[in-house]
Structure 1
Amino acid sequence: MLNTQYSPSEIETRLYQQWEQRGYFDPSLDLSKPSFAIQLPPPNVTGTLHMGHAFNQTIMDGLTRYHRMKGENVCWIPGSDHAGIATQIVVERQLAVENISRHDLGREAFIAKIWDWKKFSGGTITEQMRRVGCSVDWSREYFTMDEVRAEVVTEVFVRLFEQGLIYRGKRLVNWDPVLGTAVSDLEVENIEENGHMWHIRYPLADDPNNALIVATTRPETLLGDVAVAVHPEDERYAGFIGKQVILPLSGRTIPVIADEYVDKDFGTGCVKITPAHDFNDYEVGKRHQTVLINVLSLDAKILPQAEVFDFQGQAQTAINLPAKYAGLDRFAARKQMIADLEAEDLLVKVEEHKLMTPKGDRTGSVIEPMLTSQWFVAMTRSANNDVAHPEPESEFKGKTLTEKCIHAVESGQVRFIPENWVNTYNQWMNNIQDWCISRQLWWGHQIPAWYDQTGRVYVARNEVEARAQAGADAVLTRDEDVLDTWFSSALVPFSTLGWPQDTPELQAFLPSQVLVTGYEIIFFWVARMIMMTTHFTGKVPFHDVYIHGMVRDHEGKKMSKSEGNVIDPVDLIDGIDLEKLLVKRTTGLRRPEKAPQVIKATQKLFPNGIPVFGADALRFTMASYASLGRSINFDFKRAEGYRNFCNKLWNASRFVLMNIENHDCGQDENLPLSYSFVDKWLLTRLQQTITSVSEALDTYRFDMAAQTLYEFIWNEYCDWYVELAKTQLQRGDAAQQRATRRTLVRVLEVVLRLLHPIMPFITEELWQTIAPLANTKHTESIMLAAWPQADNSLTDTEAVSQMHYLQELVNSVRNLRGEMGLAMSVKVPLLVESTTDLGTLLPYLLLMARLSEAKQVVQLPEGDDAPVAVCQGARLMLKVEVDKTAETARLQKEAEKLQKNIDKIANKLAKPGYTDKAPAHLVEKDHSELAQLQDKMTKINLQLQKYR
């Protein structure tokens, strides 16, 4: 027998250990079966699970369990990412506490420290995944820096280099001066800030008394200007194009050029062009074949001599910069330059200006566009296939990496869900730049390139190969840079399946069926997996890309540790008291000064800590949010509701067990079964539910699957059938009782299988007890049981119609009770006037409407003051002696209360601008609530008229 109370903590860890130990998560590798594979977006090894992970993994695990139950060869591959920048920062901060830098240790010792740290804390996420219930194949768990992945990364790099798709060049990149490395766009946050726009005079070289006024937000880069640009159709400056102006503070002359990049209506219409320090200016300079003048060092200080290059990266003659600025930090130099411009009467005015400032997400430092030597992957160049390892034969061969990505989607081999993300994807692909893959870090895959004493580069799989290329006398030094983290993660679809060998796993699980991920990494991960997988295997990495939204807090704010609104999903599963929660949230803050704010926000959101929800309630909450929208506002009220749903299911199962144990449930086929219309209605609704849930999961609509299951289990099975079954078990004959017990247990068993992908723990625990009694248990675990199939022969539309009529009758009587203020504990008689024989329905009314008697009559008593309800032609009256004085007083009191609520909402809606400015769903809710209150007031007034 089940415990009297549902306790998730008692079952979840025990069940997960059983599943893992018994190998239920392992694929069969039976290639005769359909395969279903899914790759886990590898979380950073530095982190812990957040609500976004829980959301993402609920969907993935739901799909995995669903397809496993369908009998497919299922493989969910887990792993974690080495997270180059994040991991290096974590370990460097730990060393800083001991006043040690990575340079004190040296590269080899520092990397050894990181591996030690990884062993100590790297398993945090995998344990959290177990708590959430993820049924991944742990035997295939990978780390993007393990030996297998390292070999694949090297092989891919060498092949791309041999094919002419990887090159080293001097280009403009995002540069974090604090980290001292190039960073990707994903590691840059654009933050709106209050700034200034400085208007500066650039005197004409042939007429210094006249000048062009240039507006800029970054005067510190002025020394690197190569031109002043105006729009070619701007009549104000038509006569200046081709002339020279004097660069302030420098004395150099630079040309006035025309380019459509310039916005005539912004600022003064004159733009300084600094191609070595601005991405847009870089493109302008490239079009006009200017030089690039770099005036900043890698730590963002003014150089004594500006470095000058052409757009092929060839060094030109250096330019001496004013000595007074040399060595100054960029912002100190800005301050000094502004003062000097003002002193020389070159500063016209200063305006306050809102601007987007790019900042490193790890350091908070302002990112500089910096001209540096980096390794790049060519996006729009075709591979040289006259090499040892050409592209595999496929429809993708011969295309550029960009073309491969576009063709994979246009051909329908890869589809985005929702489909609108295709536009975002194509927009990026059509404007793509070569991919900067090098990082100036120590933690990561070191680039497999060696340099001899002349600077010539040798790309090879190891130093032995490099020496074979360079010659025995060469002195080789390995490139110190490492690869961008996204480079190794882009190889995951095939690096985890045994490539470059042709393994059974590659045959079975590539392409995988679906990738479940967030929209923010479509470009950084999704597109790069497509380009790398099509290039090296000739196949797409996955067929479907299901893009889900971001999980935000209940107010729609982004979850952030510094805001105090971030939630650890395991805290929701296990519960945590306020004191421990405060310690947890304030420990290790990047900005310790935010601690008071975090404490205040936490106390407001969780005044009593976080109660125990359990993994199943959390997962069902996440599934209910999994629509095709962009963002999810996580509301604890909903999680509480689904915890109650777990309790409801548990208690319903206990009721079923109490009524079927030691009784015949229809297992003996020789004994008769007599199904009522109620039984047939439930069996019909079950078939419809099976179909709806299967269609929802097939189309990634977990929200619809959750809604369908919730309504069927709570409303139809528990609230209606279980209650109606009590009447059948009490009043029915042996055949009717057997049919009722059989329906109770068999429908419950099927429901548990339908619910298992979303709520794995409670369904397993209940199924182990229920399934044997339902005579359908053929497997050791529910996750290995067959997915239910709808049986249309069990559909009975007449029974459904009868049941709907019964439900309307019950609801009508309940409404009557409410109108008369009768407590549910008070049993009263019911009179029903109807030309239709309701004899089969009345016994059910007794129980469902809390009646002492239900009697059908030819006509209701005339002159009775009791309210009457009409339901499909039947007239219903509760036979109760009405105290008109007392009832009038009660109704008047209720009317007064109703009127206050009506006035309150009506006044709100009448406020000027409310309906235009308030969120549409709130306005709609107000209108709906007002209509309901007004309808109720109308009924009360009608009843009051009867008593007058």
Structure 2
Amino acid sequence: MTERTLSTVYDPKSVESRIYEVWERGGHFAPRDGARGTFSIVMPPPNVTGVLHLGHALDTTLQDIATRFRRMQGYSTLWVPGTDHAGIATQARVEQALREEEGKSRYDLGREAFVKRVWAWKEQYGGTITSQIRSLGASCDWSRERFTMDPGLSRAVREVFVRLYEEGLIYRGNRIINWCPRCRTALSDIEVEHVEEQGVLYHVRYPLEDGSGDLVIATTRPETMFADVAVAVHPDDDRYASFVGKTIRLPLSNRAIPVIADSYVERDFGTGCLKITPAHDPNDFEVGERHGLPALVCLDQDGRLTDLAGRFAGLSREEARARVIEALREEGYLVKEEPLDHAVGHCDRCGTVVEPYLSEQWFVRMEPLARDALERARRGELQFLPGRFMKVFEQWLTNVRDWCISRQLWWGHRIPAWYCASCGQVSVSRDDLDHCLHCGSADVKQDEDVLDTWFSSALWPFSTMGWPEHTPDLARFYPTSLLVTGYDILFFWVARMVFMGVHFTGKMPFQTVLLHGLLRDAKGQKMSKSKGNGIDPMDVIDKYGADALRFMLASNTVLGNDLRFSWEKVEGARNFLNKLWNAARFVLMNVEDGFSPQPLEAQSLDLADRFILHRLGETIRRVTSALEEYDVGEAARAVYEFTWDEFCDWYIEFAKINLYGDREEKKRQTQSVLLTVLSRVLALLHPYIPFVTEEIWQALPNTTGMLIDAAWPEAADLPEDERAVEQMRVAMDVIRAVRNARSELQIPPKTSVPIVIACDSERVRGVVDQVTDMIVRFCNAERVEVGAGTEAPKQAAVQVVTGAKIYIPLAGLIDMDAERERLKKEASRLKAEVERLEKKLANENFVHRAPQEVVAQEREKLADYRAKLLTVEERMASLEG
């Protein structure tokens, strides 16, 4: 695929698309026979209207890591990709284009022509997000790509609807739903975005019909009072006990309503009196059902007041509120107004305030489905990562409400129900009907509504495998092994897939659910267009490459926790890729083409060789263990630390001794170690950064085939030597300490220095004696004196490491007087900063009034200045006497 050479600089733009095309064209994403069984996963289907955002990027990266890992382990691996038809979003997009380009609405075209227009739009623009997911490196089997409105998946939707209807688990009824007056459709809870707004709590006087007094209710929505059917108080509220059972005269409409007692009322909120409006509030609806109250509607589907509002009929909600408040004030019913901050639901597509609305809709009866799913989960058939989400899952299923599944749209799976004008019965069928199944009349009409998009996506794990047919994929890959998604759709999607999977296949749809957090900006704020803090992942890929984005996301992931994005983190990931690339170039420049590593016999290996091979084995075991638990962040951090710190920064430097020496057998031994470590590091990193690792793999002299098909690295054949690790870490600590001291004192690298190492014990001295030659070479030491309990030399810089103190006598190396003066000035500056911050943090006004993050930053600065001052004072003391 590439020549066995690497360019001087890694350029992701010249690599990523080329490699991905080879992978996809070569069928490397398709499942192969696997000795270890099967691993399957389905992609949470992004909206066909969508483009890649950071949430998709994280989701896709985590899935690809798991898939590539299991593929390399020898599993027959299937990752099914696909997209969702996204009813509201797609219809809104096409309607907008129709308005802007032709000045028409969907009603001008009619349903059939409009749906054809949406299909045409989908074919033209619907592949944007899948092409972007490809650019991220997703190794899913595109030959099995699915769409929620494919013929097979549409058949599964029909089958599920009809079976549930036949079992009495789907019904049509009047209940409160979320209604968007602009989109003119019901919305699911997740399609409602709650925004904190400043509102007003209006206190309104409702007079008793017998003239004996009045009750004051508190409401944020006075325009709905025309649909009030009662005023409720808490049964234990002594203030209002004598009012229960009496009748109140409704202001502005002069209609009589009862005073009732219900424990739903919060005695401490507002006045403790609650207006009950069953048609416009879900909680009021339940109160109304408990007390047998009627449900009156005072708002229509466009959000305008109905004839029930009398003189206010026809006004919009906003106009009506202002006019009603004005009338209540003029007629003496308005007692007072209080500011109130509260969350208001908005349609996440058009931004319109959502209306709780009583409407005749189709519902799924959830309690029986939830009960079965919960029993199976409690038996251990379902695992959540992190495990704390099992409690959240149980809470959702324990308090579940019936699910409104009908939407007033034209794009989607049309509800398979036909209404007969002759007998008034409803016929539900798997096939399209031209006659009534009850009376045989041809005068039938299909329901105008379509199904909630979440209905079809709830079937995704098994409908994508060919259900209700008994397909080979269904038999082989279902139940799936893993689901990866955000914790914010635990109920809206995950729980519903569990319901449907258990009910229709008798099995959990997946064994494990990995719930990741949400992506936020560097300050921890939610990303949004309005805040201007959103990040387009395609911009990141264009600037730094897909691997850098993937590694940043994965290495900063802690299961279930939100993740902060920053460009600095992406740059750090890019730097890691460059470090790996340069290390690979070094190895290739020092290994001839066609070189084959020799067996690694522990007795013939140098100390540095034994150290790096032992640490490689430990890293392989640590990474494998973490990925087995899908702890991708922990695995990434483990391989990062080994690759950057131990292999690149240390072993490669030690390797140069033999590579540039005159002993051929030592050179070949070091070449073998370098290739062994590099090839296994590439395999460990491949699930995270597949493009750069594949490119380097193809350049290695001892590899065949592609890295995507290679076996996961093992540690069993690597020598183990804890003693070598102990010795090398001592050497590394000493070398690092001396280099730090030289840098701080600005001693030129070419100037050799004497080193005195005072060990805490004879054991430590024995270890240091084994690595003295390394210390001399890598510290440019003119001599090294090692002893246990050695006295500190005068006028020496000191560094402390575990088990020893390192002294560098400075006489003759630096200008002692100049250094003392420099340290004195630095100490004076640091003392001034410490005193300034101590005074600032002693000011209670600042500590209590300033933002907590500002106070925390000042405390961090103080701790940093104190630590620097202590270091300077220690250096000053070391130069005395």
TM-score (norm 2): 0.94
Residue 48 of structure 2 corresponds to residue 114 of structure 1: no
Partner AA of 1:678 in structure 2: A
Q: Cα distance, 1:908 vs. partner?
A: 5.4
Q: Distance in 2 between matches of 1:875 and 1:552?
A: 45
Are 1:816 and 1:878, in contact at CA under 8 Å, matched by a contact in 2? no
Partner residue in 1 for 2:878: 943
Partner residue in 1 for 2:817: 885
Partner AA of 1:327 in structure 2: G
Partner residue in 1 for 2:22: 18
Residue 541 of structure 2 corresponds to residue 573 of structure 1: yes
Which range is displaced more, 873-882 or 82-91? 873-882
Partner residue in 2 for 1:650: 581
Are 2:176 and 2:357, in contact at CA under 8 Å, matched by a contact in 1? yes
Residue 545 of structure 2 corresponds to residue 620 of structure 1: no
Are 1:48 and 1:124, in contact at CA under 8 Å, matched by a contact in 2? yes
Are 1:831 and 1:876, in contact at CA under 8 Å, matched by a contact in 2? yes
Runs of 4+ in 1 over 6 A off after TM superposition: 857-863, 913-917
Partner residue in 2 for 1:912: 844
Are 2:72 and 2:710, in contact at CA under 8 Å, matched by a contact in 1? yes
Are 1:906 and 1:930, in contact at CA under 8 Å, matched by a contact in 2? no
Q: Distance in 1 between matches of 2:117 and 2:606?
A: 71
Q: Cα distance, 1:444 vs. partner?
A: 0.6
Partner residue in 2 for 1:694: 624
Q: Cα distance, 1:342 vs. partner?
A: 2.4
Superposed CA offset, 1:501-547 (max 9, x none): 22221122211111111111111100100001111100101111111
Partner residue in 2 for 1:196: 200
Q: Cα distance, 1:863 vs. partner?
A: 7.3
Q: Distance in 1 between matches of 2:856 and 2:347?
A: 37
Q: Distance in 2 between matches of 1:458 and 1:721?
A: 75
* CA gap 1:897/1:276 in 2 versus in 1, 3 angstroms: same
Q: Distance in 2 between matches of 1:118 and 1:862?
A: 78
Q: Cα distance, 1:668 vs. partner?
A: 7.9
- SS in structure 1 at match of 2:213: strand
Residue 564 of structure 2 corresponds to residue 633 of structure 1: yes
Residue 714 of structure 2 corresponds to residue 789 of structure 1: yes
Are 1:231 and 1:260, in contact at CA under 8 Å, matched by a contact in 2? yes
Are 2:80 and 2:140, in contact at CA under 8 Å, matched by a contact in 1? yes
Partner residue in 2 for 1:548: 516
Partner residue in 2 for 1:335: 322
Describe how 1:42-53 pairs up with structure 2 within 5 A: 42-53=45-56
Q: Return the match for 1:404 from 368, 372, 375.
A: 372
Q: Cα distance, 1:186 vs. partner?
A: 0.6
Partner AA of 1:360 in structure 2: C
Superposed CA offset, 1:605-643 (max 9, x none): xxxxxxx21111111100112102431110111111111
Are 1:142 and 1:496, in contact at CA under 8 Å, matched by a contact in 2? yes
Are 2:361 and 2:404, in contact at CA under 8 Å, matched by a contact in 1? yes
Partner residue in 2 for 1:899: 831
- SS in structure 2 at match of 1:412: helix
Superposed CA offset, 1:692-747 (max 9, x none): 11111112221111111111011000101001111233347333222211111111
Partner residue in 2 for 1:588: none
Are 2:820 and 2:876, in contact at CA under 8 Å, matched by a contact in 1? no
Q: Cα distance, 1:883 vs. partner?
A: 2.8
Are 2:738 and 2:799, in contact at CA under 8 Å, matched by a contact in 1? yes
Q: Cα distance, 1:879 vs. partner?
A: 6.6
Q: Distance in 2 between matches of 1:57 and 1:705?
A: 17
* CA gap 1:136/1:663 in 2 versus in 1, 3 angstroms: closer
Q: Cα distance, 1:36 vs. partner?
A: 0.7
- SS in structure 2 at match of 1:561: coil
Q: Cα distance, 1:832 vs. partner?
A: 5.5
Superposed CA offset, 1:468-527 (max 9, x none): 614543311111100000000001011000111222211222111111111111111001
Partner AA of 2:429 in structure 1: A
Q: Return the match for 1:351 from 328, 332, 338.
A: 338
Q: Cα distance, 1:687 vs. partner?
A: 0.6
* CA gap 1:839/1:100 in 2 versus in 1, 3 angstroms: same
Superposed CA offset, 1:262-300 (max 9, x none): 111221111111111111111111111111111221112
Describe how 1:715-734 pairs up with structure 2 within 5 A: 715-731=645-661, 733-734=663-664
* CA gap 1:907/1:790 in 2 versus in 1, 3 angstroms: farther
Q: Return the match for 2:637 from 707, 715, 728.
A: 707
Partner AA of 1:199 in structure 2: H
Are 2:794 and 2:878, in contact at CA under 8 Å, matched by a contact in 1? no
Partner residue in 1 for 2:727: 802
Are 1:377 and 1:435, in contact at CA under 8 Å, matched by a contact in 2? yes
Q: Distance in 2 between matches of 1:899 and 1:650?
A: 45
Q: Return the match for 2:141 from 120, 128, 137.
A: 137
Partner residue in 2 for 1:814: 739
Q: Cα distance, 1:130 vs. partner?
A: 1.0
Residue 108 of structure 2 corresponds to residue 177 of structure 1: no
Superposed CA offset, 1:649-695 (max 9, x none): 111111111112259664389x9983111110101100110011111
Which range is displaced more, 859-868 or 224-233? 859-868
Q: Return the match for 1:325 from 294, 312, 315.
A: 312
Partner residue in 1 for 2:153: 149
Describe how 1:915-930 pairs up with structure 2 within 5 A: 918-919=852-853, 922=857, 925-926=860-861, 929-930=864-865
- SS in structure 1 at match of 2:198: strand
Residue 245 of structure 2 corresponds to residue 245 of structure 1: no
Superposed CA offset, 1:820-863 (max 9, x none): 331435444545677747565233224432x1634447899997
Partner residue in 2 for 1:494: 462
Partner residue in 2 for 1:103: 107
* CA gap 1:768/1:905 in 2 versus in 1, 3 angstroms: farther
Partner residue in 2 for 1:85: 88
Q: Return the match for 1:365 from 332, 342, 352.
A: 352
* CA gap 1:863/1:767 in 2 versus in 1, 3 angstroms: closer
Q: Distance in 1 between matches of 2:120 and 2:23?
A: 30
Partner AA of 1:300 in structure 2: G
* CA gap 1:277/1:511 in 2 versus in 1, 3 angstroms: same
Q: Distance in 2 between matches of 1:793 and 1:57?
A: 33
Partner AA of 1:14 in structure 2: R
Are 2:776 and 2:782, in contact at CA under 8 Å, matched by a contact in 1? yes
Partner AA of 1:431 in structure 2: N
Partner residue in 1 for 2:868: 933
Are 1:199 and 1:215, in contact at CA under 8 Å, matched by a contact in 2? yes
Identity of aligned residues (%): 46
Partner AA of 1:34 in structure 2: G
Partner AA of 1:278 in structure 2: D
Are 1:224 and 1:294, in contact at CA under 8 Å, matched by a contact in 2? yes
Runs of at least 5 residues in structure 2 that lack an aligned partner in the other structure:
none
Q: Cα distance, 1:338 vs. partner?
A: 2.1
Q: Cα distance, 1:62 vs. partner?
A: 0.3
* CA gap 1:3/1:347 in 2 versus in 1, 3 angstroms: same
Q: Distance in 1 between matches of 2:832 and 2:644?
A: 34
Describe how 1:383-398 pairs up with structure 2 within 5 A: none
Q: Cα distance, 1:899 vs. partner?
A: 3.4
- SS in structure 1 at match of 2:74: coil
* CA gap 1:904/1:711 in 2 versus in 1, 3 angstroms: farther
Q: Distance in 2 between matches of 1:936 and 1:569?
A: 43
* CA gap 1:231/1:833 in 2 versus in 1, 3 angstroms: closer
* CA gap 1:842/1:275 in 2 versus in 1, 3 angstroms: same
Superposed CA offset, 1:120-145 (max 9, x none): 11111111111110000001111111
Q: Distance in 2 between matches of 1:40 and 1:897?
A: 58
Q: Distance in 1 between matches of 2:54 and 2:410?
A: 31
Superposed CA offset, 1:365-407 (max 9, x none): 1211111111111112xxxxxxxxxxxxxxxxxxx20112212
Q: Cα distance, 1:886 vs. partner?
A: 2.4
Q: Distance in 2 between matches of 1:782 and 1:911?
A: 61
Are 2:794 and 2:809, in contact at CA under 8 Å, matched by a contact in 1? no
Q: Distance in 1 between matches of 2:254 and 2:40?
A: 65
Are 1:665 and 1:738, in contact at CA under 8 Å, matched by a contact in 2? no
Q: Distance in 1 between matches of 2:174 and 2:599?
A: 82
Are 1:829 and 1:880, in contact at CA under 8 Å, matched by a contact in 2? no
Q: Return the match for 2:607 from 670, 673, 677.
A: 677
